[in-house]
Amino acid sequence: MVDDTARIDEILGRFPQIKRNALIPLLQAVQDEFGYISEEAISSIGSHLSLPTSKVYGLATFYNQFSFSPRGFYHVVLCNGTSCHMSGAGELLSEICKLLDINDGETTRDGLFSLEVQSCIGACGQSSVMEVNGEYHSGISVKEVREIINQYREDAGR
Amino acid sequence: MQADREFLLKLAQHGPSELTPDELRQTELLRKIQITKPLVMVNSSTSGIVAGSMRTWEAIEQYAVDRSIDLDLAETGSIGLSSEDPVVSVQLPGRTRIFFSRITAEKVPSLLDDLFHQVVPEHNVIGQLQREGQESWKDVRSLDDIPYFALQDRIVMESCGIIDPFSFEEYVAGGGFTAFLKTIRSYTFSEVCELVSESGLRGRSGGGFSAGEKWKAAFRTPSDQKFLVCNAEESDPGAFMDRTLMEGNPFQLLEGISIAAYAIGSNRAYIYIRSEYKDAIRRINSAIKNLREMGLLGDNILDSGYNLQISLRKGPGAFVCGEETALIASLEGRRGMPSSKPPYPSTSGYLGRPTVVNNVETLSNLPGIIRFGPDWFRGIGTEDCPGTKIFSISGRLPMAGLVEVPMGTSFDTIVNKIMGGVGRGRELKALHVGGPSGCMVPVEQMDVAVTYENLKEKGLIMGSGGIVVMDDQSCVVNTVRYFMEYLHKQSCGKCIPCREGTRRMAEILGSFTRKPADEEDRTTLESFKGLMRLETLAEVMKDTSLCGLGQNAPNPVVSTLKYFRNEYEEHIFDRRCPSNSCTELRSWFIDVDLCTGCSICAKRCPSEAIIGAARHPYFIVQEKCIGCGICYEVCKFTAVYYK
């Protein structure tokens, strides 16, 4: 915890100007560093910029980029853009939710997987697309999704 | 780099006409027309990376080490054919460059082996790029002979996929920055505004507002500080033209930004880019760094007395931030909520100062307009809409990618002639144009010439230019429901018609794609009432929403109710999805011949709809079935099917 505070302070130090328009870059820096935005980070940012915590939290929840729970060991990003949706991303999503027993933006209780649905990954020619820790899987079907997730489970030895 | 600076600036200043033969040769080397050792270029843009181009890259590196071959390996952007990725192009000294499709890592050794023995492999060849002074390969078709390239008119995308986006030298050698130097050396601020006004360039982000007029408004407003913002938020899922432009030719965009900033007399420019666009961000950051080193950004650019700073701001992701007032709010560190216009951002925008917001495609058009003049630009496209437009085409067709055509080209040409239409045995049903709040264009309207006015007349919009192709296997109602759910999630919540309207629409559409679970759930009559209400709701939302998101949100519903009403009715009255895409409306059956009577489906069925005796074929009672599909998943004998 002490370590986290030091890391947050280090990020705050990078933004010496106390200006409202530093708020989003600050939140992004925290998100990049920790993978999520903790309560502690929100209150530190609030006091750094002299903004109420509620305003900071309100802004952070407005945007899709910010998440508020720690990421899993494997961070699964599923594309649900129009092209992927037409190739069956909706079915893939419900399959992943069923397999991992989590919803969009959540992390499994063992901390192994977290799920994020993105509006478009940008590879509409290869739909449907899923990304796990920077590794891309393209043109996947429901059956393949099951195999991929099980493979990751096996790799982690659980 | 420093030694080259004088030469590169001379190039940008005079163009090739005043160069010595030695300098001309150097230019050709920079443009990679003449090369000294074999050149391999890999598409490392997003679609390439997703298809595995990084593994291809490593395989090529490994190949060069194993065979101890001295070759140049370079990154490039997408040539536009994103379904053919990873695209790899190979050029041997003195020969033309050949483009290959789908070169995954395991195909690398055989491909390069063949080529280094002067043999062109039979498969995966796209074509060769003909450039002067190069010997062409026999039996390889030229890129210009392929319908995909032949029918396009590439102005903005000309260099995408051909040049190295990290090489400033290559961009300048190809004529880059002549336009910017011409601008700051020979024109005053207002002359540039006038020039762009004359060219008739209109904003490519959807509204189609004249770029020159917007600039003039900002230029005329007196202020101590003015801002230029490049809108690279491209939040429309299924559109990737701005991303491809930034990944394929970042210098062109930066040159466009510099010209636009100069025209309105601004010293500060921001690029508001989606945070997900990591590869585009990497390229633009590298390009900005290059320009600073060359003295083309910063204080007193090339002794002209003009200062300019360009900075990148990552957008934290919200569809509504594509709207300019919402984008400005987000830049200021507030929630991305639109505000009412007027005042327009061009008089009072970022931090209350005059701000011009233009999108990537609009700005990327500028270097060409300044370089070749407004008359050249007016010669392309139609009288009201000069220039070209880039469309991104994806969905249910074998080829997906970008198409740049003159304004006024028909959808039929774009989708059928250039992209080759839908797959064999499939039938084209509709095109969804312009993103989630776009319109469904039926096959009968395919021959309409695409300009802002023509589409408006037919009740359609161009939007960002994303085209999603639907064939007979895609369901109109389900797609519209998907869009409405997306818009509901992305509505900023400021004004009620949009916030509540999108929610109700999504609910009503959702009820069409489900079977009633029990007596109290929506009956057919209720659904029918919902259908009637959709039209009223659409009108209210159009009339009373604050910004473009809410006003355009009913577009998919209105256009499909007009052209595909029968499909809605089939969903409501027959509880049937004609294309079988609505999973919950499927009717499930058991194949008597395949069923072994193992009883596993009956045991797992949540609604006890499967009856039968062990070791005899089972049967699904349709009235009880809720269409969950569990029986289909558990059956080991593939005896369960749907129709």
Q: Please write the tens of the pLDDT for every residue from B373-430.
A: 999 999 999 998 999 999 999 988 888 899 999 999 999 999 999 999 888 888 999 9
Q: Give the A:B interface size as CB pairs under 8 Å.
A: 132
Question: What CATH number did the domain enclosing B40 receive?
Answer: 3.40.30.10
Res. B2 pLDDT band, cuts 50 70 90: very low
Q: What is the pTM of this model?
A: 0.92
Q: What is the pLDDT of residues B496-553, one digit of tens each?
A: 999 999 999 999 998 888 876 655 555 777 788 888 889 999 999 999 999 888 999 9
The answer to whether the Cβ–Cβ distance between A119 and B319 falls below 8 Å is yes
Q: Within this chain, do residues B562 and B606 fall inside the same structural domain, yes or no?
A: no
Q: Which amino acid is at B109?
A: P
Q: Is residue B120 part of a domain?
A: yes
Averaged pLDDT score across all residues of chain B:
90
Give the B window 62-101 contacts with A, CB below 8 Å: 81-85
Q: Within this chain, do residues B175 and B290 fall inside the same structural domain, yes or no?
A: yes
Q: Is residue B625 part of a domain?
A: yes
Over the range B207-226, which residues count as b (16 or more CB within 10 Å of their CB) and which as e?
Answer: ebbbbbebbbbbbebeeeeb
Tell me: pLDDT of B442 over 50: yes
pLDDT of residue B206: 75
Q: Within this chain, do residues B511 and B607 fall inside the same structural domain, yes or no?
A: no
Give dist(CA B643, CA B61) in Å, integer: 50
Reported for A4-7, long-range contacts at CB under 8 A and 24+ positions apart, including other chains, are A4/A34, A4/A38, A4/A40, A5/A40, A5/A44, A7/A33, A7/A34
User: What percent of chain B has pLDDT above 70?
Assistant: 98
Q: Within this chain, do residues B362 and B393 fall inside the same structural domain, yes or no?
A: no
Residue B129 phi/psi, 5-degree rounding, is: -95, 115
Q: Within this chain, do residues B405 and B501 fall inside the same structural domain, yes or no?
A: no
Residue located via tokens 């300048």:
B172
Tell me: pLDDT of B1 over 60: no
Using CA atoms, how far residue B93 sits from B33, B40, B43, B89, in Å, is: 9, 11, 20, 13
Instruction: For residue A58, give the chain B residue with the closest CA.
Output: B335
Q: What is the pLDDT of residues A33-45, one digit of tens each?
A: 998 999 999 999 9
pLDDT of residue B580: 80
Q: Within this chain, do residues B184 and B282 fall inside the same structural domain, yes or no?
A: yes
A chain contacts of residue B465, beta-carbon cutoff 8 Å? none
Res. A76 pLDDT band, cuts 50 70 90: very high
pLDDT of residue B630: 83
User: What percent of chain B has pLDDT above 90?
Assistant: 59
Averaged pLDDT score across all residues of chain A:
89
Q: What is the pLDDT of residues B100-118, one digit of tens each?
A: 999 999 999 999 999 999 9
Is the pLDDT higher at B169 or at B586? Answer: B169
Measure CB to CB from residue B317 to each of A20, A59, A63 and give the nearest one. Answer: A63
Q: What is the pLDDT of residues B8-62, one digit of tens each?
A: 888 888 766 778 888 888 888 888 888 999 999 999 998 899 999 999 999 999 9
The answer to whether the Cβ–Cβ distance between B394 and A127 falls below 8 Å is yes
Ordered structural domains, chain A, with CATH: 2-62 (1.10.10), 74-155 (3.40.30.10)
For the residues A85-99, what does the mean pLDDT come to? 88
**At which of B547, B573, B599 does a domain end?**
B573
Q: Within this chain, do residues B186 and B40 fall inside the same structural domain, yes or no?
A: no
Q: Within this chain, do residues B233 and B197 fall inside the same structural domain, yes or no?
A: yes
Q: What is the pLDDT of residues B269-328, one digit of tens each?
A: 999 998 888 899 999 999 999 999 999 999 999 889 999 999 999 998 888 888 899 999
Tokens at residue A58, please?
């309100």
B chain contacts of residue A126, beta-carbon cutoff 8 Å? 47, 50-51, 82-83, 85
The answer to whether the Cβ–Cβ distance between A21 and B332 falls below 8 Å is yes
pLDDT of residue B337: 92
**At which of B309, B343, B378 does a domain end?**
B378
B359–chain A Cβ distance below 8 A for any pair:
no
Q: Within this chain, do residues B305 and B401 fall inside the same structural domain, yes or no?
A: no
Question: What CATH number did the domain enclosing B399 receive?
Answer: 3.10.20.600
Give dist(CA B363, CA B108) in Å, integer: 37
Instruction: For residue A125, give the chain B residue with the closest CA.
Output: B83
Indicate if ipTM > 0.85: yes
Give dist(CA B399, CA B149) in Å, integer: 13
Residues of A within an 8 Å Cβ radius of B: 19-25, 27-28, 58-59, 62-66, 80-83, 85-86, 90-91, 118-127, 129, 131, 136, 138
Tell me: pLDDT of A18 over 80: no
**At which of B345, B378, B411 does a domain end?**
B378
Q: What is the pLDDT of residues B217-242, one digit of tens each?
A: 999 999 999 999 999 988 788 888 99
Question: What CATH number did the domain enclosing B593 receive?
Answer: 3.30.70.20
Question: What CATH number did the domain enclosing B224 receive?
Answer: 3.40.50.11540
Structural domain boundaries enclosing B592: 586-642
Q: Is residue B16 part of a domain?
A: no
pLDDT of residue A123: 83
Q: Within this chain, do residues B508 and B544 fall inside the same structural domain, yes or no?
A: yes
pLDDT of residue B614: 86
Query: How many angstroms away from the CA of B471 is the closest CA of chain A?
Result: 10
Q: Within this chain, do residues B482 and B531 fall inside the same structural domain, yes or no?
A: yes
Tell me: pLDDT of A145 over 60: yes
Q: Within this chain, do residues B178 and B292 fall inside the same structural domain, yes or no?
A: yes
Measure CB to CB from residue B238 to each of A21, A64, A81 and give the nearest one. Answer: A81
Give dist(CA B256, CA B228) in Å, integer: 11
A chain contacts of residue B82, beta-carbon cutoff 8 Å? 123-126
Give the B window 267-286 contacts with A, CB below 8 Å: 275-277
Structural domains of chain B, count: 5
The answer to whether the Cβ–Cβ distance between A85 and B333 falls below 8 Å is no
The answer to whether the Cβ–Cβ distance between B400 and A64 falls below 8 Å is no
Cα–Cα nearest to B583, from A95, A119, A108, A26: A95
DSSP assignment letter at B198:
H
List alpha helices for B410-459, DSSP H: 411-412, 452-457
Q: Is residue B11 part of a domain?
A: no
Question: What CATH number did the domain enclosing B532 receive?
Answer: 1.20.1440.230
Query: How many angstroms away from the CA of A4 is the closest CA of chain B?
Result: 23
The answer to whether the Cβ–Cβ distance between A21 and B84 falls below 8 Å is no
